[in-house]
Amino acid sequence: MLAYRHAFHAGNHGDVLKHLVLMQVLQHMNQKDKGWRYVDTHAGAGGYALDGSYARQKSEYVDGVGRLWNRDDLPPALADYVGLVRSLNGDTRALKQYPGSPLIAQALMRPQDQLRLFELHPTDHRILASTFEGDPSVEVRMVDGFDALKSQLPPPTRRSLVMIDPSYEGDRDYARVVTTLRDALVRFAEGTYLVWYPQVGKLGARELPRKLQTLSPKGWLHARLTLSTTDERGYGMVGSGVFVINPPFTLHAALREWLPYLAQALSQIDEPQWLLDHKAV
């Protein structure tokens, strides 16, 4: 939806989980010299000022990346993540900027890799295009990412990671995630697809992981963190999940190592919950 701005939520616990998994996948893909194509169907503005008016309205980053920022006991994967965010803040101790998925992907890309970024919101698109202006390896377009994905598959190198992270403000997004992935897997069954979703009371959110499993005969991974409770009316995002189709074989062991730590570090309740399930190829 064009009213949605991710700046309100930048750096929150959902971003932490999503971007940790994103980094793990791209670091694994970098173990081979052959180039990859990263496609982001809902790229947002690319990066966000945490001291800006949008982020300060809710300050969700305080209970997200802010909880990890000054810890000295981080597992290696979390230390790498905080180090990357710190590098985009000028390696200072101050947390003022938070990278979106495109900037994290750019930080891990090599000369042979490509970024394909789609964003419909005109303001976010303008910021995104300005951020990557002049980089021939990056293409930024103001189009519907669900539709644009068709033109990106299969990539020339036959290696890709697709990030699907819509706003989910309307119920329609849940169905579009499923139909888009169904088509994408017909076009390129070997690609890796990363879906982030909010843990909310909507039926679409509860059913999404099960529906994605049916699309993934060659292997999948599902990770979820439950970190808070709903408000008195039963509303609110209590956590989030990531679902990876065709995950790297190393991903399950990596998440098994640091997911319990992350649940405790980010929890806003006494007994946080974490889930890690997968089907190997």
Sketch the domain layout of the chain as residue ranges.
6-279
> Using 50, 70 and 90 to split pLDDT, how confident is the model at 102?
very high
Topology adopted by domain 6-279 = Rossmann fold (3.40.50)
Query: Which residues, in sequence order, are bridge partners of residue 139?
Result: 116
Q: How far apart are CA 107 and CA 109, in angstroms?
A: 6
Q: Over the chain, what is the mean pLDDT?
A: 94
Q: How far apart are CA 20 and CA 3, in angstroms?
A: 27
User: How many Cα atoms within 13 Å fall on the side-chain side of residue 28?
Assistant: 20
Let me know if 165 is a catalytic residue: yes
Q: Is the dihedral of CA 49, 7, 265, 162 positive or negative?
A: negative
Catalytic-labelled residue, pool 15, 63, 113, 165: 165
User: For 67-81, 86-100, 192-206, which range has the lowest pLDDT when averaged over its residues?
Assistant: 86-100
Query: CA angle at residue 174 from 164 to 180, to 5 degrees?
Result: 55
Query: Of the candidates 256, 219, 222, which has an alpha carbon nearest to the alpha carbon of residue 239?
Result: 222
| CA 226 centroid distance within chain | 17
DSSP 150-215: GGG-S-TTS-EEEEE-----STHHHHHHHHHHHHHHHH-TTSEEEEEEEE-S-HHHHHHHHHHHHT
Q: What is the pTM of this model?
A: 0.95
Q: Kindly report, residue by residue over 150-190, the tens digit of the pLDDT.
A: 999 999 999 999 999 999 988 899 999 999 999 999 999 99
User: What's the confidence (pLDDT) of residue 1?
Assistant: 45
pLDDT: which is higher, 93 or 105: 105
Q: How far apart are CA 49 and CA 55, in angstroms?
A: 7
> Using 50, 70 and 90 to split pLDDT, how confident is the model at 236?
confident
